[in-house]
Amino acid sequence: MKPLIFNPKIAKEKPDDSSDCPFCQVHQLTNILDQNGAMIWLENKYRTLEETYQTIIIESDDHWGDISNYTYDYNRQLIRYAMDKFSSMQSQKTFQSVAMFKNYGPLSGGSLRHPHLQIVGFESQNVYEALKTENFEGLTVCEEDSYHAEINLSTEPIMGFCEFNIITSQNKLDYFADAIKNVVMYLLKDYFLGNCRSYNLFFFRSKDKVMCKVVPRFVVSPYYVGYKLSQMNDMTRLVEIKQEFLKKFRSYYVKK
């Protein structure tokens, strides 16, 4: 895959958390594509990547909001809204591929704290080219059924060390949203002794399934930086993570 071309001149103009938050100044937003209450889909004012169409979904009017502290109902609304816009962009023949993702925290690659998702259309790049089915398989935490999405821990992670995969049918977006919220809550409050402060979400759609890869973020391993070599926890640790997660959400994952 060819590298994406980044424009540093535009990047220098981007606001960060040391300045006034542009997403809090709703009356000053431009190029709005759609709005549903506090959720706003708009063009990214600072398009730093060449041959792309970059958009943003402002998740909430709460600057300190996050999937971890939204109500389950609000999070369901957000995921339904975001997946609809993701699907809308994927249906456009302008793009070779479309990616939707979220950065949260200082090690996630994000520049603004205000909660937002990004949907990016790539004119000449298939961003999924290097991925394989095995990247979304692993140790089962929860099986898909009438009330739950599948959750597993990658045994062939893209980067490592710990990657949660959430997979379900397209008609079960509410359970998809619940699983994402539960995993994020676990990562920020319990995983790694509560020392995880950053994560990424990556969304995927197939003909009949939706998938989300949830990745806690720390300093990137030099094995990955230098050799594109991912690492994973041994099976003993993966089983411990599974048990920690299920213990935290015992009431949610009891068979109904």
Helix axes 173-189, 235-248, angle to 10 degrees: 110
Write down the pTM of the prediction: 0.94
Question: What are 189-229's pLDDT values in tens digits?
Answer: 999 989 999 999 999 998 899 999 999 999 999 999 999 99
Domain ranges of the chain: 8-122, 133-249
Asked, colleague to colleague, whether 8-122 and 133-249 share their fold, the answer is yes
Q: Which two tokens stand for residue 226?
A: 């230098």
Residue identified by tokens 């690492």 is 231
- Do 49 and 62 meet the contact criterion of CB atoms below 8 Å apart? no
Question: What are 46-105's pLDDT values in tens digits?
Answer: 888 999 999 999 999 999 999 999 999 999 999 999 999 999 999 999 999 999 999 999
Half-sphere exposure of 253 (CA within 13 A, CB side): 19
Second-level CATH architecture of 133-249? 2-Layer Sandwich (3.30)
Instruction: Report the C-alpha gap between 158 and 134 in whole angstroms.
Output: 10
Using DSSP, state whether 85 is helix, strand or coil.
helix
The angle formed by the CA atoms of residues 187, 98 and 198, to the nearest 5 degrees, is 20
Report pLDDT for 255: 60
Residue 13 clears pLDDT 80, i.e. is over it: no
What residue type is 28 in one-letter code? Q
Question: What are 139-193's pLDDT values in tens digits?
Answer: 999 999 999 999 999 999 999 899 999 999 999 999 999 999 999 999 999 999 8
Report pLDDT for 7: 85
The angle formed by the CA atoms of residues 215, 152 and 225, to the nearest 5 degrees, is 35
Question: What are 225-253's pLDDT values in tens digits?
Answer: 999 999 999 999 999 999 999 999 988 88
Assigned CATH class of 8-122: alpha beta
178-200: string of b/e by CB count within 10 Å (b at 16+)? Answer: bbbbbbbbbbbeebeeeebbbbb
pLDDT level of residue 18 (50, 70, 90 thresholds) = low
pLDDT averaged over every residue in the chain: 94
